[in-house]
């Protein structure tokens, strides 16, 4: 069995006041009536701790859209987990912040959609969001909790990257994640509007490197690059079934947060299967574990244990076969699809995330 995962991503709900066109939630969003209860989440947290997890990321959708978010944080803390809240911040006020701190919250990761109010509101699809996020950041830092900003970057906000980094400093964040969009689910539907040009990508990389040097010791900058301009794929999830463990709002146990985009694949559910059994024995977690499943040209490739064949969700989204070599690899017979998508990019309007 693969080593136990160190962290659990708990997607508490798909409900969210924002409608970001690159949301990593599946196209078919789960309704509130199907969500796990507080008690079920508490059991999942205990199972995660027993499995060896040290951290929990409470995510969504918007996790604070759950009325029991304080009880959920308390349950994670009671299980002995370091608890990170991944939030858009627009529902956070002083009383809720106080109750979350009291319940044992350890860290907050706050998303920002753009550095300019108008851009942020257009991309997130919510009026007034930016002002609320500024208030949320102040509440977090005033409470003494560490703050990370998460900036998803793409064709329509990369011109503001220097300003996004300044905002992280102004709002008191110790870390900013500059994450290029990854293309599956909603982001794939909006790919023509989101894909950056090569020049934008190169400029972003230069800006990140300069900012890292300028703010060393004050701001950590994590940088996630897109692979449409690459010749080698990323080792997505650190390899399927090797590190990542997630639970969806309805309790599906996932080897990748986007795994439900692979239609036809069945996932174990916490209502019937323990996290340990899902991690160790389930067909879903073992489907692409290691290198035995790999097709040509991955089989026998010298990079096979470095990139693990790339991303299964991207392979499925682009080729219809989750077991294919990721088209981001220059050795894939489908690699030309990426250049075609880049050539077709330039759309300006979005298809916003919504419940169908």
Is the Cβ of residue 279 or residue 288 nearer to ligand SF4 in the bound state?
288
Query: Up-side HSE of residue 62: CA atoms within 13 Å toward CB?
Result: 17
Binders of ligand FES among residues 98 to 127 (CB under 6 A) are none
| C-alpha to C-alpha distances, 302 to 124, 238, 298, 306, nearest whole angstrom | 41, 17, 8, 8
Per partner kind, with CB cut-offs from 5 to 8 A, the member of ligand FES, ligand SF4, none near residue 103 is none
> Does 23 belong to an annotated binding site?
yes
**Residue 311's binding partner, choosing from ligand SF4, ligand FES, none, with beta-carbon cut-off 5 to 8 A by kind?**
ligand FES
Q: Residue 81 Cβ, how far from ligand FES at the closest point, in Å?
A: 23
**DSSP β-bridge partners for residue 220:** 175
Which CB sits closer to ligand SF4, 212 or 232? 232
Query: Shortest distance, CB of residue 235 to ligand FES, whole angstroms?
Result: 9
Provide, rounded to whole angstroms, the least separation between the CB of residue 169 and ligand FES: 30
Site for ligand FES, residues 258 to 287, rule: CB under 6 A: 258-259
Residue 325's binding partner, choosing from ligand SF4, ligand FES, none, with beta-carbon cut-off 5 to 8 A by kind?
ligand SF4
- Residue 64 or residue 286: which is nearer to ligand FES going by CB? 286
- Whole-angstrom CA distances from 170 to 131, 136, 149, 164, 217 are 14, 13, 11, 10, 15
Interacting residues toward ligand SF4 by CB under 6 A = 232-233, 297-298, 301, 303-304, 307, 309-310, 325-326, 329, 331
On whether 236 is known to bind a ligand per the annotation, the reply is: no
Q: Let me know: does 80 contact 59? Beta carbons within 8 Å.
A: no
Closer residue to ligand SF4 in complex, CB, 75/329: 329
- Give 56's strand partners: 8, 83
180 binding ligand FES? (CB under 6 A): no
Q: Which of 115, 68, 114, 110 is nearest to 90 (CA)?
A: 110
Shortest approach of ligand FES to residue 214 CB, angstroms?
Answer: 32
Task: Give the residue, chosen from 12, 275, 278, 313, that forms a contact with ligand FES under the rule CB under 6 A.
Answer: 313
Q: How far apart are CA 68 and CA 180, in angstroms?
A: 32
Pick one of 101, 158, 256, 294: the residue that binds ligand FES (CB under 6 A): 256
Cβ-contact 140, 103 below 8 angstroms? no
Which helix or strand (DSSP H or E) is residue 97 part of?
Answer: helix 94-103
In degrees, rounded to 5, the angle at the alpha carbon of residue 189 between the alpha carbons of residues 297 and 56 is: 80
Q: Is 301 annotated as a binding residue?
A: no
Q: Kindly give the pairing relationship between strand 246-247 and strand 253-254.
A: antiparallel
Segment contacting ligand FES (CB under 6 A): 58-66, 168-176, 253-261, 345-353? 253-261
Per CB under 6 A, the list member of 69, 204, 311, 318 interacting with ligand FES is 311
Single out the residue of 13, 14, 4, 103 nearest to residue 47, CA to CA: 4
- Binding segment for ligand FES (CB under 6 A), chosen from 91-99, 107-115, 233-241, 245-253, is 233-241
* Pair of tokens at residue 332: 């894939």
E runs forming strands in the chain = 7-11, 55-59, 82-87, 107-112, 147-153, 175-180, 220-224, 246-247, 253-254
Smallest gap from Cβ 312 to ligand FES, in A, equals 4
Binding site for [4Fe-4S] cluster, residues?
A: 16, 20, 23
Residues in touch with ligand FES (CB under 6 A): 184, 236-237, 240, 256, 258-259, 311-314
């Amino acid at each position: 069995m693969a080593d136990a995962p160190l962290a659990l991503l708990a997607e508490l709900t798909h409900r969210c006041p924002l409608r970001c066109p690159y949301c990593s939630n599946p196209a078919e969003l789960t309704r509130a009536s199907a969500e796990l209860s507080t008690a079920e989440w508490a059991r999942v947290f205990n199972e995660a701790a027993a499995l060896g997890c040290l951290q929990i990321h409470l995510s969504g959708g918007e996790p604070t859209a759950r009325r029991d978010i304080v009880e959920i944080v308390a349950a994670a803390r009671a299980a002995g987990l370091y608890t990170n809240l991944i939030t858009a911040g627009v529902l956070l006020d002083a009383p809720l912040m106080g109750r979350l701190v009291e319940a044992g919250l350890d860290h907050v990761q706050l998303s920002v959609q753009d550095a300019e109010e108008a851009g942020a509101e257009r991309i997130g699809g919510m009026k007034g969001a930016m002002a609320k996020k500024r208030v949320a950041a102040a509440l977090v830092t005033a409470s003494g909790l560490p703050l990370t900003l998460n900036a998803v970057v793409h064709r329509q906000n990369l011109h503001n990257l220097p300003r996004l980094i300044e905002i992280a400093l102004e709002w008191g964040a110790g870390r900013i994640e500059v994450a290029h969009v990854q293309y599956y689910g909603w982001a794939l539907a909006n790919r023509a509007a989101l894909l950056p040009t090569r020049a934008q990508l190169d400029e972003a990389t230069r800006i990140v490197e300069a900012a890292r040097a300028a703010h060393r010791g004050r701001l950590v900058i994590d940088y996630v690059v897109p692979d449409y301009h690459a010749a080698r794929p990323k080792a997505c999830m650190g390899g399927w079934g090797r590190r990542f463990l997630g639970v969806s709002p309805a309790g599906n146990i996932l080897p990748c947060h986007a795994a439900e985009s692979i239609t036809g694949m069945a996932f174990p559910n916490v209502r019937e299967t323990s996290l340990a059994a899902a991690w160790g024995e389930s067909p879903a977690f073992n489907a692409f574990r290691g290198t035995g499943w790999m097709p040509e040209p991955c089989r026998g490739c010298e990079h096979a244990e470095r990139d693990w064949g790339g991303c299964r969700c991207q392979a499925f989204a682009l080729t219809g076969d989750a077991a294919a070599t990721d088209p981001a690899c220059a050795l894939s017979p489908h690699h030309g699809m990426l250049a075609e998508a880049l050539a077709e990019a330039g759309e300006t309007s979005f298809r916003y995330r919504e419940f169908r």
